[in-house]
Structure 1
Amino acid sequence: MNLKKIVFLGLTTMALFGACGKDEKAVATKENDNIVLRVSWWGGEDRHKKTIEAIKLFEQAHPNITVKAEYGGWQGWQEKITTQMAGGMAADLMQVNWNWINIFSKDGNGFYDLNQLSSTLDLTQYEQKLLEQCSVNGKLNALPYGVAGRVFLYNKTSFDKAGLEVPTSFKEIKEASVIMKERLGADYFPFEADYYGALLLMLYKLEQETGKPFIVDDKVAYTEEQLKNAADFYLDLVNTKTIPSLEDRAAAGNVQLDQHPSWIIGKFGGTYEWDSASLKWRDSLQEGEQLVVGDYPTDLGPYNSGFTKISMAFAINKDTKYPKETAELLNFIVSNDDAVKALDVSRGIPANKKAVATLEKANLLDPFMLEANNKVISFAGNGIHPLFEHKQLHTELKDIVDNLGYKQITSEEFAKQVLATTNNFLEMNK
């Protein structure tokens, strides 16, 4: 595609977005008094409606500023933003995926450095570790909107039926397997894991042992021997019938956990899943089953190793004409009491401490979901590399984990393949 076509597409996109902007009221007629800001985001209808409501509140508080909303669904959204960024036509304020920082700002200069706007943005409301994950070369490229992570969820009813306490360690999970099968039946398991859950359990062990995430400095942080031991850890859970094998788990068909019959009726006693989806796992259980948020097992090593990531963030266009006003809009959205209540949890539980307090006071947070998110934050590991969730890498790692789970390769071969595949991918995508 030539440059003229790219620019034309970008202008067309901007024009279409502009049609979605504010049309409720006329704004100040004096050009010097009027500022127009553009804000873009993706999501569903609930997020659109609530974000527009928060924007209206900002406009009421800032009568000289008009905010044009540009929004749509996720499908094709990254391509739209890529076109806008390339053509210098991106919105002043953008909702971004966390890994977009790596895509659009490899040297830290792709977005506005929010450290330069700290007199307007209250950065003290965020954990320093989260701000560091949004920084490149010391430049804060975005504000983290929320944090998502994996938590241990247990069906307390299943453990009660077996006369057991909810486990707090992998040792207790393994011991529970023997008792559950004796008292409830051979098809009861205290825990379960699909291929991705299996991979994350292995990484959980490795980070808890070493204090290092999977990828450091664009290469795998673990040795071949460490990866082999992690694979053996997973295989031991399978061989002792602590968790169902991938083959056994697939007997019900290729279905999500919340739709799996053994989960619904309580034959799978626990899982390691996203806190943001915890209500889904809870509500999928049949009546009478009680889901609880468990403690993170700490019997594998001395380090925090919960799998976490920044769910999404907000960045300011490096070329905006109005950095201070855009920062005022961003700060309003993430911390103003009325705006926070208007947005509710349309983007999940916020990372902003003041916003969380506001939602709690207004009884807008489900206690179960809040407990899960608090545990994620309290036991967070070192986060993930921006390329870890790349579709190509995931596809390749899935094949390797599947081959291990279906006993097509040994733990030694698993370690060699994970090391070679991941490092080759990282080298090609530096």
Structure 2
Amino acid sequence: VTKLKNLSKQDYLRIINRSAGSNETIMPLVRKIMDNVKNNGDKTILEKYQSRYDANNYRTIHVTKEEIKTAYKYVNMQTIKALKQMIKNITLVQMSQLPSKKDTVVRSEKGIRVWREWRPIRKVGLYIPGGKAIYPSSVLMSAIPAQISGCQEIIMCSPPGQDGQIPAVTLVAADMIGLKKIYKVGGAEAIAAMTYGTKTIPNVYKIFGAGNSYVTAAKMLALEKISIDMPAGPSEVFIIADETANPAFIAADLLADGEHGEDSACVLLTTSEKIARLSIIEIEKQLKTLETQNRARESLKKYGMFAVADNMDEIIRFTNEYAPEHLEIMIKDSERLVKEITDAGSVFLGNWTSKSSGDYATGANHVLPTGGMAKMYAPLGVGSYGKWMQVQECTKQGLKNIKNTIETIATVEKLPAHKQSVSIRFINNEKNL
């Protein structure tokens, strides 16, 4: 346990920067992979996986109906029921966030109307982490907002496991919400395929989803041609607690984040030294029960902090500077503190709102900005899958009302054709009615 105000510069940077590293060292290799897929398409993907696995287990890039049918045999009814509740809650929350198709019409001058109209992005690609990991929740969090937004074409890429197949529960989750274009490809190859298109995999206009450093680097390179949701890094949880918090709950939530991987970040800030010390004791107790204890312990060692602050103002300042992905507020009257938080991905209020509740079942989205990106990025949602188109209309009188302004600024900027495009409309008025 450390005093927040006594934090050394070295420890401050370790906590604030998390595992933020540069992708520069792998960029040349990732660009080579991207170019390979761009030039050789499906051949590059087939060579990668057929050399890695038995070619009989990886015959097609596209997931077949038979593979989906087989997947259901490996998913029990309890899991199906849980997925159904997730689908219901995510849909309910995302529907509430759908923008109106047309926003307020503003009459900036007499005879002038300006407004915006909402349009979904027509083609989007979803990257779902896989291999050793199994994330059916990410399928639902990424795909449901796209469907509600009205995207016409939604494709999904996920890396296969040792058997050459996407995990069964991931396929079932995708099938339950009606995804049809599912491809067994991961890493930089998947990002390249969705960026440039291959014979099998269509190109898209925007890519969503997190992955390893190769996926992140590939997404940054993809920005040369298409759009992406946000840069994605390791998971992080940041807990604010006072003397009313439950140390067992704090420990459980820190470990729930730490078990994601050794690069995860776990921070506790409290006004109570007693709570901090009891939380550490609880962590040691709970670690012994976890199969994931090694990576959870390592993440706490690398990017963990248990700090005591003199007051809540000190905590708020540090929290906003950190801009956490997941922010839990376990204090008396926790909602009161929300208005002071300017930068956080997803906020969890009170002792009963665990990080995992938002990861899975409240209906809030779990695709969130990491690494301090909450200062400028928002959680994934319906709005991420569309864009506003601007519309304006001038009557003759409307244009006349702004004619002098246009001509003056066009002259200042030395753009005579801009000036002429207005003045020509008022020469020989009868002719141009």
Do they superpose with TM above 0.5? no
- TM-score with structure 2 setting the length: 0.27
Query: Which is greater in Rg?
Result: 2
Task: Name which structure has the greater RCO, CA cutoff 8 Å, separation 6+.
Answer: 1
